[in-house]
Every structure is written in structure tokens, then in C-alpha cells.
Amino acid sequence: MGNADCVYPSAGVERSHKVAIPPAQPFVKTFKNTLKETFFPDDPLRQFKNQSPWRKLVLGFQYFFPILEWAPKYSLSFFKSDIVSGITIASLAIPQGISYAKLANLPPILGLYSSFVPPLIYAMMGSSRDLAVGTVAVASLLTASMLGQEVNALENPSLYLHLAFTATLFAGVFQASLGFLRLGFIVDFLSHATIVGFMAGAATVWKWESGVLGCCFLFFLLITRYFSKRRPKFFWISAMAPLTSVVLGSILVYLTHAEKHGVQVIGKLKKGLNPISITDFVFVPPHMTLAIKTGIVTGIIALAEGIAVGRSFSMFKNYHIDGNKEMIAIGMMNVVGSCTSCYLTTGPFSRSAVNYNAGCKTAVSNIVMAIAVMLTLLFLTPLFHYTPIVVLSAIIIAAMLGLIDYEAAIHLWKVDKFDFVVCISAYVGVVFGSVEIGLVIAVAISLMRVLLFVARPRTFVLGNIPDSTIYRNAEQYTNTSNVPGILILEIDAPIYFANSNYLRERISRWIDDEEDRIKSTGETNLQYVILDMTAIGNIDTSGISMFDEVKKNIERRGLKLVLANPGSEVMKKLNKSELIDKIGQEWIYLTVGEAVEACNFMLHTYKPSNNVKDESVDSRV
Amino acid sequence: MGNADCVYPSAGVERSHKVAIPPAQPFVKTFKNTLKETFFPDDPLRQFKNQSPWRKLVLGFQYFFPILEWAPKYSLSFFKSDIVSGITIASLAIPQGISYAKLANLPPILGLYSSFVPPLIYAMMGSSRDLAVGTVAVASLLTASMLGQEVNALENPSLYLHLAFTATLFAGVFQASLGFLRLGFIVDFLSHATIVGFMAGAATVWKWESGVLGCCFLFFLLITRYFSKRRPKFFWISAMAPLTSVVLGSILVYLTHAEKHGVQVIGKLKKGLNPISITDFVFVPPHMTLAIKTGIVTGIIALAEGIAVGRSFSMFKNYHIDGNKEMIAIGMMNVVGSCTSCYLTTGPFSRSAVNYNAGCKTAVSNIVMAIAVMLTLLFLTPLFHYTPIVVLSAIIIAAMLGLIDYEAAIHLWKVDKFDFVVCISAYVGVVFGSVEIGLVIAVAISLMRVLLFVARPRTFVLGNIPDSTIYRNAEQYTNTSNVPGILILEIDAPIYFANSNYLRERISRWIDDEEDRIKSTGETNLQYVILDMTAIGNIDTSGISMFDEVKKNIERRGLKLVLANPGSEVMKKLNKSELIDKIGQEWIYLTVGEAVEACNFMLHTYKPSNNVKDESVDSRV
């Protein structure tokens, strides 16, 4: 051993393919490209290219107010569809709004206010055609539990109310800023697993005892939901169920005068549209910090739901949604909402699904819903006087049960144990700690997984797939055979500071293992170590030093390091650090197959071993 | 378009290779394997396998006290080498020890104490043969700047001294715990770039004015270092330079009685060995927190240097070092040191390099150094009475200049801009903020890079390499040609929650771009999208949902999704989530070449397009 590096494989084998060093790019261009992929991956300026200044202005307005784009093309047939779906979601919005406001410990009328102004703002600024705007159970619950830590809603209702408006303002500002700063991807760090666990946890801590009375209504709601889930065509049955419950309950109370016999009812709801709440904001200590914290937590959770819902339905109908633009729309709707006595709104999944199923065409359905709610506010509030609280509780419980998605948790366990751990951590954190603790733990564990993927990358030994020049992971492809005298390794992650020490040790352990195996079987001595670099997406300076050391270490053992298929980033850096010359360009191959071919040629031509066995030689040209 | 999914490619093309679903593993086994790779990547229990209980006990003792392993084999020729190198490093250790103790605002004698006990402990427990134990400039500087925030060393020297011992104790406990808990990889998160910037920053904030006097000594030290750097054989010239400076300076002062004319000298050094300091620890507020913080920061920095130095020299001599075991050794040496009037020690690079160059064979050189220091402590301390402080300052400045490694920073800029940013952030953080801020910023940016790699993975279009069935990144290989009607994409990272939304958008943008291009050139309409999954190391449930949506989206456009070479983790999860059946096993190929072949067969057999151009058809069998 040892003279393998004096003779070149190119001397004997005709090299057909060469690994290219990618053409050098000016630093500014690379940097611009990285910035673009990080912050503008959806290429929002694409449509502005090659347009006249006037057209650019129009497109700019249309960008922030998509209504300008679709309104001129709006047709009567669209309107027919939108009016049906708008009325359907209004019938859901009114009872749900009142119930969720109660869940947030806020006056019931706020639920109606919140279904009036925000949908109008969203209709102008939003780009989803299917999103139905309204309050959501989880954000209502969070508002109650977070604000409730410092201010009691019963003892100090006006301060509590003002804090809720302030939190909504901050949530809106935070959401819109994420959109403006193109930081929308922060929402992506709330994985699906996190949300599942988090919502179930939030629902679990909820005070269930307050709602066990409305059993028969609850039973009705759950039955209708189950039915509609199994037969999506009858979505309207579960959509109408809350209003039906409210109407039935109210009539029952009115006829039996049950309100005089201890059955709690909503009581008087103020007639009239949203009052202005711009003077109610709390911008002074000690409660402002709480309002900011509540705003950020509820804002990001609401945003995650709204964006996910918008994206899902846009996929169904095959149109494009700009996440950052949506954030601006949702944020603005909350900013305006907080000034007009609304609390946090987003695009709830349940309401949007009803909207979609009812055949909505554009955001006009939101306008129709807003008008229906406006009419209710102006003329119909007395009708809710006799609505029993138990019905609202039943609606809330039905929503809470919907938040505990145990089927999703089972699916996570089945497909990905780690995601299950994330989900359970979020759940446990919320139940035994607090809302923030649950969120932070789940996000931290999710990030740890990403870091661990890089810190402890998977490495494989590759084997030859019979009757081919293809080399694959021997664990996955159990029919592969090893090539005598050659160890082929694959590394499955970028080589960074976080894993360079690990990989150095791991590679040397693979070589130890292989040499032990060879010693026990008496095969050809190991002479070449081929590293398949296909999956190494990037490398940093620690990685480069590691490579240098691995090369020296391999050579000190009397072996030769051969590289297969390094990617563009890796080739660029090997070249810049001049390591490419140390390794030798002639030892870098385009495919593992070609590398093996060259090594075999060397093995058989220059160094015929005494104990070559032909049992596992692959079929190469 | 649209009927591509009614006919199977297998109908026409003989499929030679099938993508394997890896054999199912019981959960416990997978979990155990993951734990092993995370915490025991170096397989420390390997040697214990198949051994008798008695042998296991012996091996266990040898594991924690490597001296038991090498001492019985120790020979006279080793001893000759070790005695030469031991005396050489002692001659460096004495002046450096005194100088660095002064840098840490501690009594000079502590420098000698710290070169006596810790090397003896390391000689027993350490596994490196080349590491020379001693205090280091950067940890001394950190001790001074961190403890100096709360306690003034001049006004309250005994409290300051006790805090230094306490910090050393905590550093030692922290280091040993990392080793025991097998969390050594935490040190890996301090990248080379971070350390370069951090050290230069620490040196920059140092008060330079105090040392400008010793110009000629400094000049002498720098000249000798430069000379030895260029000619490694003459390493002893720079190794001896500090002692020579000290001797020359002391003689000069003694002869001229300069100490009476304003030249500051060290003065009286107490004779005798290390006093016990076990009763000096400060375990009460308010200063304990500071001691803990100082201990952790200096401990991890010292550990990073010690481990890196040990690893580097073990690579040169081709023996193995267990990082976690080293941490235990370094930690224990600091715990014992803190009880015997020593402050933080580790394996400094400069001293270990001298040790290596002087031909050391085992840790006996540390014992020789310790004995030399012991003799100095017992008999020779009066000789340092006349040593002028300016000489010590010159030694410190020379060390500080060595910490500012501008060449390394230039190398980082050249090879990897991101690493350069990390380095500069650490520097700026330390200089304008504090030691902790600098460290936290640099580590946070390094981690952000890892997260960004996953959050914004690179995607490429692949093209056919002429005269082959190989498909590679068209940006790197400029001579590739595209295949009419087929878009081939490669994704370069695992598909996780953090990038699933990005990838969905990015894939659909690639398809948009390709369709735009085709429209302008009039080529064959796009019919197939092949995803090369080689570099996708893992996938989570968010990624699985994303895949499902991408598939639906592609089909809605009238195209067909084809997968090439999914790895074992991906196949496992596609299988568990039943997505594999939705995609269809017959649309999953082992290589891109085989996928293209099958698609082409379909294109030409079942759906002859009107506008096929032969200009860029690849040569396939």
C-alpha cells in the first residue's frame, strides 16, 4: 500500500465525464440571489417586469387591494353564488361570534361587531377567494387565559375590554409587520404537529364544568357535524346547526318563561353598529406588556390558522396566494377591527370550509356576511334576548372538541415519532405550564430536530445493485453487494461546524468496521474510500478543514480518498480553499459508478492483490 | 393532457430496478440507534464487547485513567524524548504562567501553581499524548474582564482571588459534566469562525497602553516567533525566547539596580508548593452568580481550545481521542486545580505545539514539566525577584497579537462569506458589547445558517450530460441539455415544516418558469415533472402533506409527478403515510435516467406531440 497516489487513474481508464467547477459568480449577484430566495421566494415583482409606469402604479394598487383586480370582472353568476354562501356563513357567524366572545370573557355583542368590520377590510385587501373572516375558538380562549392572569373580567370589565382591544391592535400591527418585512416564513416554524398539540392543550385547560348543561344541544351539534363530515354534500346541515340551536333554544325559553326560573339567558344586546374604540387603548404600564404579549401570541396563532386555511383552499381551486400579502391583509383587518370594538379575527377553518362548500366565488361572500351581521346588529339583537347560555356553551364545547384532534396525533405517531413528540410536548406544556411555555417548548423541539439532522447526519455504506453500475444504500437495498477493496460512503447532510467533528469520527469508524470485517472474511485489503457527495448541499470552512484532515487520515492508513459527484457549492469551496488540488482533480468523479470503475482499474492493473475474490465484482463496461 | 395517468410506463418499458422500501425496524431498535449516534458516535463501549468481567473492570479503569494503559508499556527511549520536551515546555510555562496570571489580575505565583497540579492530573486522566497543560491568554483575559465587572482586583484582592477559584471549580464541574453526560458535541457549536473572531475581539479590548514599554523584548519575541513559524525545526528558538527574555531582563535589573530607579519588578514570590484553597470558595450571593457565569464562559472556551488542540495532534500521529473522555480529564484537572490554588487551565495550542515539536511521546512530558515547576516553586522563586514587569508585558502582548489571526479572517472571507460574517459578529460583539454578547451573537448566527439551509433549501433544474444517461445541475454543468416535455428538479435538503411551504411555492415557480420558456420557444409541452430525491435525507409529516399537495397541484395542471431515488427515510414515511400508493409505485424510479427513459417512452408511444423538436433529445438506450 502507499504508492496508489503515484499513478493516475486517468493513465489507464478513459475518463468520459469531468466534475465541473461552477462558473464564478460575482459576490453581489450571489448575495442578491440568496436575499431573493430568503425573502421573496414567491417572486412578487414578477408581474411588474417590462410594464409602463402607469401600469406599474395600477398593479401596485391591485397588489395591496386585490379587490381592484377582480371587481371589474365580477359577474352576476358569481354574485348569485356569493350571496348563497354569504348568508350561509352569516348564519354560522352570528351564534359562533356570540359564543366565542363569551369564551374570551368579552361582551357577547363583540362577536357580532367582529363579524362586521374585519370581513369588509379583508374583502378589499385579501387575496383568498374562500377565506371567511371571523373570530376563532383558540384565539378567544388564549385571550381569556392570558389577559385573565392579571385582570379579572368580572371585577374590572372595562379594563379587560380595553386590554383586549389593545392586544388586538398589537396583534394586527405584528401580523402586518411580518408581512411588510417579508418575514412570513416565521409562521412556518409553527409546524402542523405543534399546532395540533397546542390546540388540544388549550382546549383541555378550558373550564369544562361551565358547559355540561347544554347536553342535548351539544349532542345535536356533534351529530350534525359527524353527519356532514361523512357526507360533505350535506355541509349545510352542520353549518345551520348552531343557528337552529339558538333559534330553538330561544323559542323554548320565550314560550316557557324559563328565564324567570333560573335558566340564564344572554339578555339585552345593544342595538346599533360598532362603536369606535380608538380611545380605549391601554398604552401605559403595568398592563401594556401583557397586552403586547397576548397580542403577539394570539396574533401568530391566528395568523398560522388564517394562512394555512387560505393556502389550502387556493390549492383546491388552483390559484395563487401570497403569504406575506395575506399577512398584511389579516394584520390590517385587526388594526381596523381594534379601532371599531372588534377583537382578534382571522380565517377560521370551519367557517371557510362552509364558505367553500356553499360555492363562494370571491370575497364578496364576506361582504354579504358583513351586511347580514349589520342588519342583525341594527334590527335583530332583541331576538337574542331569550337565547339560553347553555346553547352557547354547547356551541363552545363542540368547538373545543373539534380542537382535540386525536386522530391527527395518532397519524403523527404512525408516520413520524418525532413529530408526535413535538405535538405531545406542546400539549403537555400548555396543560401543565402555560400557553407560552407550550409554544416555546414545541418550537424549540422542532428546531432541535432540524439542528440534530445537521449535527448528526446519517451516513451509509453503498453497495452495488446487481447488473448495473448503480450504487445505493446497502441498508435500504438489501440485494446490493460490496466491491472488494473499495469502501463507498454516503453523507446525507451539509458539512458544517456542527457536524464536522462527528463526521470525521464517523468516517474513521466506518473504515475501522470495514477493516475488521475484511480481516475476519479474508477479502481483498481495503485500498480506496469513495465518498458520495451527492447529498452534501453545502460546506463551510470547518467542513473544509475536516475534509483536509479526513484526507490526511485516510492516506496515513495507506488508503486513497476518492470523491463522487460533489455539488456546485462544494466544488466552489473546494476550489477556493485549494483543497481540490490537494485531493487531485483526477480523483473526483461524476458518479460513484465511474469512481468505482477507475478504482477497480487501478486495483487490477497496478496492484494485483493476492486474495482477490471474484464473488462480488460488479458488471461494469 | 390528462390521460397520462391512465397508462402505466411499465406497460412499455422493461423496468430493471425498483426502489426498495427499507425493511421495517422495531421502534425500540431505531430509537436506540438514534440515541447511540447522538450520544455515543465514537462507540466507546466497542472494546468492552465479549470480555470477561475482570477484563471489563480493568478496561473501565483504563478508560478513566489512560495512564494505566500506557504506563506498563513505557520505555526508556520514550522517557528520553519526554524529558527533553518536558524541560522545553517548562521553560515556556514558567514565564508564560507568571505573565498570564498578571493578565488575569491574579498574583503571579498562581501561574506557577497552575503549571504544577493540573498537568499531573491530566497525565493520569488525559488521552492525548501531545497536549501540554497550562493557563491560556484568552481565558486569563476573560477571567479579568468578567470578574472585574463586580470586584476590583486591587481594592479587594482576596475576594477576587476566591472568586477566581470558585469560577475555576464551576468551570471544571461544567466541563466534566458535559463529558459524563456525553454532551461534548455542544462544544462543536462554537465554530472555528466564532473562535477566530472571539479571540481577536478579546485581545482588542485588552488595555494595550500598560505594555508598550517592553518594546525591545516584544520585538525579540515576535522575531523569534516569525522565524520559528517559517522554519518549524527551530521551534525551540521561539520556545526559549520568553525564558531568555526573563533571564536577560532580570540580570539587567540586578546589575543596574534599576528596580530602585522606577523600573517595576515582580518582587518577592512566596517559596513553597500550592497551598490548599478548598476553604476559599464563594458559595453565597451576591457574587456566586458571577462566578458561575465566568466559570461557564471561560470553561467552554478553554474546553474548545483544549479539545481542538488534542484532536489536531492526535490526527498527526494517527491515534484516537475520545472528546467526552478528554472533557472529563480537563474538567477534573480544573476541579482539583481549584482546590489547590490554581486557576483555569487547558491545553494551550502554543505550548502543545512546542511539546509536539520537541518530540514528546506520552503525557510524561507533562509530569516532567510539573516537576520542573515544582523545583522552581521550592527553590528558584527568589530568582524572579528582579524580573521586570515590562518583560511580562511583552510576553502578554506577543500572546495578544497571536490571538488576532487576521490571516484566518481573510481565508474565511475568501472561502465562505457566511463564516466571515460569523467571525466579524463575534469580534464586534466582544469589542462593542461584552464577552457573552459576542459569543451569543456568533453562535446564534451560526445556528441561523443551519436553520436557513433547511428553511430555504436550494433547488435546481437538472439537465442531461451529453452522451450519457446522467442528469446534473444545469447551473454547474453548463453543457447539459434539457429533455423536451420533462422538467427535472432536485431538492437539496430534508423536507421539514420549516421549508414545506417554501418548497411548494418554489416547485410551482419552477414549473411556471419552464412553461413560460416553452411558450416562447415553442418546444414540446411540459408533461412530466421528475423530482430527484437523492439529497432529501429526511421528511416529516408537514413534508408529507406538502408532497401530497404538490402532487395534486401538478396533476391539476395536467402534468404527472415522477420521483427518482427517494432514500430510505423518505420511502419509509411515504409508505407509512400511504402516499406511496397515491403517487403509484410505478412512478418511482431508482435513477433520474430510468425515470426520464420511462417518461420519454410514454411521450413518444402514447402521446406523440405535434411540435416535437429533436434538437435536444438525449442519447438514451
Q: What is the structure's pLDDT at A529? A: 94
Phi, psi of B116 (to 5 degrees): -110, -65
Interface membership of A208 toward B (CB under 8 Å): no
Give the range with max mean pLDDT: A32-41, B448-457, B551-560.
B551-560
Instruction: Report the complex ipTM.
Output: 0.78
**How far is residue A406's CA from residue A63's CA, in Å, rounded to a whole number?**
40
CB-based contact A191 B419, cutoff 8 Å = no
A111-147: per-residue pLDDT in tens?
999 999 999 999 999 988 889 999 988 889 889 989 9
**How distant is the Cα of A56 from the closest Cα of chain B, in angstroms?**
21
Band the pLDDT of B208: cuts 50, 70, 90.
low
Interface membership of A41 toward B (CB under 8 Å): yes
Band the pLDDT of B621: cuts 50, 70, 90.
very low
Name chain A contacts of B576, Cβ cutoff 8 Å.
414-415
Mean pLDDT for B18-22 is 73
**How distant is the Cα of A613 from the closest Cα of chain B, in angstroms?**
26
**CATH class of domain segment(s) A9-19+457-605:** alpha beta
- Write the DSSP string, B84-136: HHHHHHHHHHHHHHHHHHHHTTS-THHHHHTTTHHHHHHHHH---SS---B--
CB-based contact A419 B38, cutoff 8 Å = no
Q: What is the structure's pLDDT at A210? A: 52
Q: Is the pLDDT of residue A222 over 90?
A: no
Q: What is the structure's pLDDT at A612? A: 40
N- to C-terminal Cα distance for chain B?
A: 26
What residues contact A327, with CB distance under 8 A and at least 6 apart? A175, A176, A178, A179, A184, A187, A303, A307
- Write the DSSP string, B488-527: EEEE-S-B-HHHHHHHHHHHHHHHHHHHHHHHHHT-PPP-
CB-based contact B540 A494, cutoff 8 Å = no
Q: What is the structure's pLDDT at A486? A: 93
Name chain B contacts of A552, Cβ cutoff 8 Å.
315
Q: Is the pLDDT of residue B177 over 50?
A: yes
**How distant is the Cα of B138 from the closest Cα of chain A, in angstroms?**
21
- Domain borders along chain A are 9-19+457-605, 116-405
* C-alpha to C-alpha distances, B341 to B108, B118, B294, B589, B601, nearest whole angstrom: 12, 11, 17, 67, 80
Task: Give the closest of A544, A557, A568 to B415, CB-based.
Answer: A544
Name chain A contacts of B534, Cβ cutoff 8 Å.
534-535
B44-77: per-residue pLDDT in tens?
777 777 788 888 888 888 888 888 888 888 888 8
Name chain B contacts of A22, Cβ cutoff 8 Å.
475-476
Name chain B contacts of A593, Cβ cutoff 8 Å.
none
Chain pair A-B, CB pairs under 8 angstroms: 239
Interface membership of A446 toward B (CB under 8 Å): yes
Q: What is the structure's pLDDT at A16? A: 56
B91-125: per-residue pLDDT in tens?
888 888 888 898 899 998 999 999 999 999 999 99
Q: What is the structure's pLDDT at A179? A: 87
Interface membership of B516 toward A (CB under 8 Å): no
Q: What is the structure's pLDDT at B11? A: 43
DSSP class of residue A379?
A: I
Fill in the amino acid letter for A113. Answer: Y
Q: What is the structure's pLDDT at A595? A: 92
Identify which of A403, A408, A434, A402 has the alpha carbon closest to the alpha carbon of residue A423.
A408
**How distant is the Cα of B448 from the closest Cα of chain A, in angstroms?**
10
B468-489: per-residue pLDDT in tens?
888 998 888 888 888 889 999 9
**How far is residue B355's CA from residue A122's CA, in Å, rounded to a whole number?**
72
Phi, psi of A31 (to 5 degrees): -65, -45
Are A591 and A490 within 8 A, CB to CB? no
Identify which of A315, A345, A312, A351 has the alpha carbon closest to the alpha carbon of residue A330.
A345
A394-428: per-residue pLDDT in tens?
777 777 777 788 888 898 888 888 889 888 998 88
Burial A165-191, CB ≥16 within 10 A → b, else e: bbbbbbbbbbbbebbeebebbebbbbb
Bigger pLDDT: B97 or A315?
Answer: B97
Identify which of B464, B178, B159, B128 has the alpha carbon closest to the alpha carbon of residue B290.
B159
**How far is residue A232's CA from residue B81's CA, in Å, rounded to a whole number?**
85
Task: Give the closest of A23, A509, A541 to B192, CB-based.
Answer: A541
Bigger pLDDT: A2 or A480?
Answer: A480
**How far is residue A366's CA from residue A83's CA, in Å, rounded to a whole number?**
9
For the record, the C-alpha cell of B516 comes out as 413560460
Interface membership of A31 toward B (CB under 8 Å): yes
Task: Give the closest of A190, A193, A465 to B17, CB-based.
Answer: A465
**How distant is the Cα of B279 from the closest Cα of chain A, in angstroms?**
39
Interface test with A, best of B471, B495, B538 (most A CBs within 10 A): B538
| Cβ neighbours around A35 below 10 Å, total | 11
In chain A, residues 402-441 whose CB comes closer than 8 Å to chain B: 411-412, 414-419
In chain A, residues 536-555 whose CB comes closer than 8 Å to chain B: 537-538, 540-542, 544-545, 549, 552-553
**CATH class of domain segment(s) B457-605:** alpha beta
For the record, the C-alpha cell of B109 comes out as 505565583
Q: Is the pLDDT of residue A370 over 90?
A: yes
CB-based contact A537 B535, cutoff 8 Å = yes
Task: Give the closest of A478, A497, A552 to B192, CB-based.
Answer: A497
What pTM did the predictor assign?
A: 0.77
What residues contact A577, with CB distance under 8 A and at least 6 apart? A541, A544, B411, B414, B415
**How distant is the Cα of A461 from the closest Cα of chain B, in angstroms?**
13
**How far is residue A192's CA from residue A187's CA, in Å, rounded to a whole number?**
11
Name chain B contacts of A455, Cβ cutoff 8 Å.
185, 188
Task: Give the closest of A188, A470, A567 to B473, CB-based.
Answer: A567
DSSP lists the bridge partners of residue B532 as B490, B564
Q: Is the pLDDT of residue A244 over 50?
A: yes
Burial class, A467, CB count within 10 angstroms (exposed 0-12 / middle 13-18 / buried 19+): exposed
Interface membership of A573 toward B (CB under 8 Å): yes
**How far is residue A416's CA from residue B592's CA, in Å, rounded to a whole number?**
27
Residue of A nearest to B505 (CA): A42
The CA dihedral of B470, B472, B477, B482, to the nearest 10 degrees, is 80
CB-based contact B318 A473, cutoff 8 Å = no
3-class SS at A465? coil
Fill in the amino acid letter for B567. Answer: G
Name chain B contacts of A414, Cβ cutoff 8 Å.
576-577
Name chain B contacts of A40, Cβ cutoff 8 Å.
none
B32-52: per-residue pLDDT in tens?
887 777 777 767 777 777 788
Cα atoms in the 13 Å half-sphere on the side-chain side of B459: 23
Name chain B contacts of A193, Cβ cutoff 8 Å.
497, 540-542
For the record, the C-alpha cell of B411 comes out as 481565508
**Rounded (10°) angle between helices A137-147 and A288-317:** 170
Task: Give the closest of B453, B500, B541 to A538, CB-based.
Answer: B453
Beta strands B471-473; B459-464: pairing state: antiparallel
Q: Is the pLDDT of residue B612 over 70?
A: no
Share of chain B above pLDDT 90, in %: 19
CA angle (B16, B21, B26) in 5-degree steps:
155
Q: Is the pLDDT of residue B615 over 60?
A: no
